A and B are shown apart, each in its own frame.
Chain A
Amino acid sequence: MNRLGTVIGFTFLNKVRAKSFVITTVILALLVSIGLNVPYFIEKFTGEDSESVAKIGLVYGNQPEIAESLKVYTDKQSNNKYSFVEYQVADEAVLKQDIKDKKIDGYLDFSQDTNGAFPEVSFTSNKESMDVSLQTSLQAALQSVKTQYITKGSLTAEQVAEINMPVQIATFKALPDAASGENGESASGSKSIAIINYVIVYVLIFLFFFSNMMTGNMIAAEVTAEKSSRVMEILITSVSPLTQMFGKIVGMFLIGILQIAIFAAVVVVNVSLPHNAPLLADFDLDLSQINLQVVILGFIFYILGYFLYATLFAAIGSLVSRTEDLGQAIMPITMLSLATFYIGIFSLSAPNSMLLKVCTYIPFISPVSMLVRIGLGEIATWEIALSLAILVISIVLFGWLSAKIYRTGVLLYGKRPSFKELRKAMKAYKI
């Protein structure tokens, strides 16, 4: 036990003191900060942009009636996106000259009359595409004008407005009656899943994937480095491979936690900066709605999942003699965790699918799929317990297997052994 502590301490301190670790962490923290502030900056820049009102030439030429009603409609709406400059005739030369002279930003033109149908609308400017927000508001205005044009006054203004109103779908989550009794959420009447829970699950999956990959790769790289520098031979004579392996895994785990804690702190600090507060509200995120159960269970599954993957990473690291060969050897686990990641991400919108239900009982995939189901779907307590049990059992199993591989692998040099060679070596070493 004492020696396990020594190994953990050595692994942890060495990594934390390494320049590469410090630099990576700082860079990632900076990226996270920048990323979190991007919405603010975007708003700032586009906000300035939208203040300058686009001047649009409105050509009356072919369709004076429609043009007029568009102008009337626009005047009624208090919009600050655009204003119209009227042109009675479509004289391209004049219009283009005006665009060039910056009198207008572009002009709207209507095609010839087409038997009562709404004419085609064209927008000409010196840009390749139309500004998105401008396009949206113009489209809305034209839609309204179109309705007026088609109905030709047979509907009242309210009816027209009603037609133009998009249909809203409210989403609710149907909870079983038994659950709704004990569940505090349903008592408050709100059965919809808070968006913050999506965000939390998403973030947890992301964290799981990245910290798993990062620490896992570090473990494998460390083991291989120890092997290729032959420190391993001294190490295994001083401390049992099992202690060594788990010391390394726990040490790296602490590093992963430290890194997550740093990022979490960075996120919290950035989000709570005053200029980000309205943005948070814009996205309809309310931190008080965080489902604590998700976070706690997520953390438990994260730890267990980590240990499952980490033992495999250590075992594979022990099989490789040179660091150059490591990437290739690790490929299968990388694929596995990528698959896990994508199953999680794509199931966010279908948390109760059969695929996900099955996945919650498959050890390597279960941490992520459990996260999705607990956070977004519905799941019985026994299902959680069963999944946890399977996970724990497989950790013990794979831990045992990895320890065996590790014990054998660290003494095998040369090319990466095949399974057959490995089994032979295990037998030969009596492990």
Chain B
Amino acid sequence: MANALLLEKVVKQFGDKTAVNEISLQVEKGEIYGLLGANGAGKTTTMRMVLGLIYPDSGRIMYHGKPYGKELQHLIGYLPEERGLYPKVKVSDQIKYLARLRGMSTSDADKSLRYWLDRFEVPEYYDKKIEELSKGNQQKMGFVAAVVHKPDILILDEAFSGLDPVNVELLKATVLELRDAGTSILFSTHRMEHVEELCRNITILDRSKTVLQGNLREIKKRYPREEVILHTTGEVTGLEQLEGVKKVERQERGYRISISDVAAAKAILRKAMEESDVEHFEIKEPTLNQIFIKEVGESNE
């Protein structure tokens, strides 16, 4: 079966500036794909090309194996980064309007809208104007507007920015639910912890180029594990003398040890077990944050 979404060597130039340089990626059915990058790296341009707002200069974008066409507008849902709805129009009016533009009948749109409002536990917003809602709630309505027509391909640009933790969890659960229902989601964010939780595959863009791409777990494996967390009941001394240990940091409940070689971890554990009882031992894999900063941050900032 063809990929839900496939980008092949897509290039976009604005004047003499290259906004997107040969990006390739594919999103399977029921997958959340992370698109990462610093500001101005080309995420929004990539998304706009996927949405058919602007056309790539070269390369191609395929949807379920077919090129872009008008009928696709019904299949795509989009939550823009600077989300917007009509401030002075009732939630029900405008979301139904947007749903109908995407080919839904009025009654289906109404049913779907009520479902989503119930899902977010805010059925009373049906008759409210957008300007009467708080910023976070406006954003939730923006999300509803993006998913109300049950899209196949959902494009979320910074979906969680500006939300409180409770709402982030709520939205995250919803996104996962959509994924399980078979929606393919292209997801962009600066917040690495969300990506780690949600995405299977990622692409990191830096100044229009793809710097890192692939399965999240495999990417992480490629980066050496350089940190050991050790919690013990008593004190462990002489860790610094072990081979491969770079730095030992005493923490409230134990140690945080930087290592240059994973083999050192074994020695650390052995030593800790000799001297005390081990409560917790973990060889930490690098966080995406660290990887991102390593790949992008240093050259950028």
Contact = CB atoms under 8 A, between A and B. Distances in A.
A229 B85 contact: yes
A10 B88 CA distance: 13
B169 interface: no
A230 interface: yes
Given A429-B55, A430-B55, A234 B100 contact: no
Contact of A235 (B13, B83, B101): B101
A429 B54 contact: yes
Contacts of B224: none
B294 interface: no
A430 B49 CA distance: 12
Contacts of A275: none
A235 B78 CA distance: 10
A237 B51 contact: yes
A3 B71 CA distance: 12
B12 to A, nearest CB: 8
Given A3-B100, A239-B73, 10 more contacts: A6-B97, A10-B93, A14-B89, A229-B84, A233-B82, A234-B78, A234-B84, A234-B145, A425-B14, A428-B14
Nearest to B17: A428
A232 interface: yes
Contacts, number: 70
A10 B93 CA distance: 8
Nearest to A429: B54
Given A230-B83, A237-B73, A6 B100 contact: yes
B52 interface: yes
Interface in A13-33: 13-14, 18
B87 A239 contact: no
Contacts of B80: 230, 233-234
A194 interface: no
A168 interface: no
A6 B145 CA distance: 16
24 contacts: A3-B101, A6-B97, A6-B100, A18-B88, A225-B86, A229-B87, A230-B83, A231-B85, A231-B86, A232-B84, A233-B78, A234-B78, A234-B80, A234-B145, A234-B146, A237-B51, A237-B52, A237-B76, A237-B78, A238-B101, A425-B14, A428-B15, A429-B55, A430-B54
Contacts of A235: 98, 101
A233 B54 CA distance: 12
Interface residues of A, number: 27
A226 B78 contact: no
Contacts of B85: 229, 231, 234
Contacts of B231: none
Contact of B84 (A18, A233, A429, A430): A233
A338 interface: no
B53 A238 contact: no
A236 B53 contact: yes
A428 B13 contact: yes
Given A411-B54, A429-B55, A230 B82 contact: yes
A173 interface: no
A6 B86 contact: no
A430 B52 CA distance: 11
Given A229-B84, A424-B15, A428-B13, A234 B98 contact: yes
A18 B88 CA distance: 9
Minimum-distance CB pairs A-B, first 10:
A230-B84, A233-B80, A238-B101, A229-B84, A430-B55, A231-B84, A230-B82, A239-B101, A10-B97, A237-B51
Interface of A: 3, 6-7, 10, 13-14, 18, 225-226, 229-240, 411, 424-425, 428-430
Nearest to A222: B86
Contacts of A229: 84-87
Nearest to B80: A233
Contacts of B82: 230, 233
A425 B97 CA distance: 30
Contacts of A14: 86, 89, 93
A156 to B, nearest CB: 80
Contacts of A425: 14
A238 B73 contact: yes
A76 B82 CA distance: 87
B86 A7 contact: no
B84 A238 contact: no
Interface string B47-63: 01001111101000000
A27 to B, nearest CB: 20
B70 interface: yes
Given A234-B80, A428-B15, A240 B70 contact: yes
Contacts of A240: 70
Contacts of B78: 233-234, 237
A349 B288 CA distance: 80
A429 B15 CA distance: 10
Contacts of B83: 230
Most chain B CB atoms below 10 A, which of A10, A225, A238: A238
B102 interface: yes
A237 B78 CA distance: 8
Most chain B CB atoms below 10 A, which of A18, A225, A234, A424: A234
Contacts of A7: 101
A235 B85 CA distance: 10
Nearest to A13: B93
Nearest to B87: A229
Contacts of B93: 10, 13-14
Most chain A CB atoms below 10 A, which of B54, B55, B83, B145: B54
Contact of B86 (A3, A226, A430): A226
A334 B145 CA distance: 37
A409 to B, nearest CB: 13
Interface string B32-54: 00000000000000001001111
Contacts of B15: 424, 428
Contacts of B76: 237
Contacts of B55: 429-430
Contacts of B94: 231
Interface string B82-114: 111111110001100110111000000000000
Nearest to A427: B15
